């Protein structure tokens, strides 16, 4: 498919539809994902890092906003027995077939060897998407280890900045880290889906401009 012959909205819609059909389901909401995606497309980006890819839905969609070819780094902790890990490898193979160079690091995003390898491989990134372990400690560490690699004028995204868990479980802390970054002077904007749980907004992508 000649992606370079299509307009941005058409590319996004096609990749979104494919991901929804073939990668279980994209965790992001379509409207919030589009708002983030089109900003990535405006970067003319060719260097991307994704921390936490699961089955590769957002990975596949975001790759459509990059130049061809681009270099993509994936850090994801495979869950034993979860078919998503196999789907992620298939998604990566598809991106390679499209012409991208993809480096996959299966394991803990806080593993010292993985951090070292990623930072040596891609010391500067245009775009980083953080959607791994959602505890406060991990989100903060993922920002420090990967988010800070984004070049001046680039973008980073933290997922689930207003996420509310069901079944009475405590909320994740992505939003807390995001708010702290804004307080430190980073510019940003939240794209929060309209779906609500008990009157509260859920999910949401937090954009950081570097």
The per-residue pLDDT for range 147-167, each reduced to its tens digit, is 999 999 999 999 988 766 555
Query: What CATH topology corresponds to 3-209?
Result: Rossmann fold (3.40.50)
Question: Which pLDDT tens digit goes with each residue over 128-152?
Answer: 999 998 889 999 999 999 999 999 9
Q: How far apart are CA 65 and CA 46, in angstroms?
A: 9
- pLDDT exceeds 70 at position 89: yes
What pLDDT score was predicted for residue 166? Answer: 54
- Taking alpha carbons only, the member of 71, 44, 50, 27 closest to residue 146 is 50
Highest mean pLDDT among 11-20, 75-84, 120-129: 120-129
State pTM to two decimals. 0.91
Q: What is the largest CA-CA distance in the chain?
A: 48
Q: Domain coordinates of the chain in residue numbers?
A: 3-209
């Amino acid at each position: 498919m000649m992606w370079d012959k299509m307009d941005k909205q058409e590319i996004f819609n096609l990749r979104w539809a494919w991901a929804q059909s073939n990668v279980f389901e994209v965790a992001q909401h379509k409207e919030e994902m589009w708002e983030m995606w089109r900003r990535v497309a405006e970067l003319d980006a060719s260097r991307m890092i994704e921390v936490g890819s699961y089955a590769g839905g957002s990975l596949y969609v975001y790759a459509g906003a990059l130049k061809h070819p681009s270099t993509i780094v994936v850090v994801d902790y495979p869950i034993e027995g979860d078919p998503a890990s196999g789907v992620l490898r298939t998604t990566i193979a598809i991106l390679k077939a499209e012409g991208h160079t993809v480096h996959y690091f299966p394991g803990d995003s806080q593993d010292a060897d993985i951090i070292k390898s990623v930072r040596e491989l891609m010391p500067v990134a245009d775009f980083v998407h953080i959607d791994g372990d959602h505890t406060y400690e991990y989100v903060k560490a993922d920002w420090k280890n990967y988010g800070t690699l984004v070049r001046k004028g680039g973008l980073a995204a933290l997922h689930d900045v207003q996420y509310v868990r069901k079944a009475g479980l405590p909320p994740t802390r992505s939003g807390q880290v995001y708010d702290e970054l804004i307080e430190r002077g980073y510019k940003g904007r939240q794209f929060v889906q309209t779906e609500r749980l008990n009157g509260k907004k859920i999910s949401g992508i937090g954009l950081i401009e570097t």
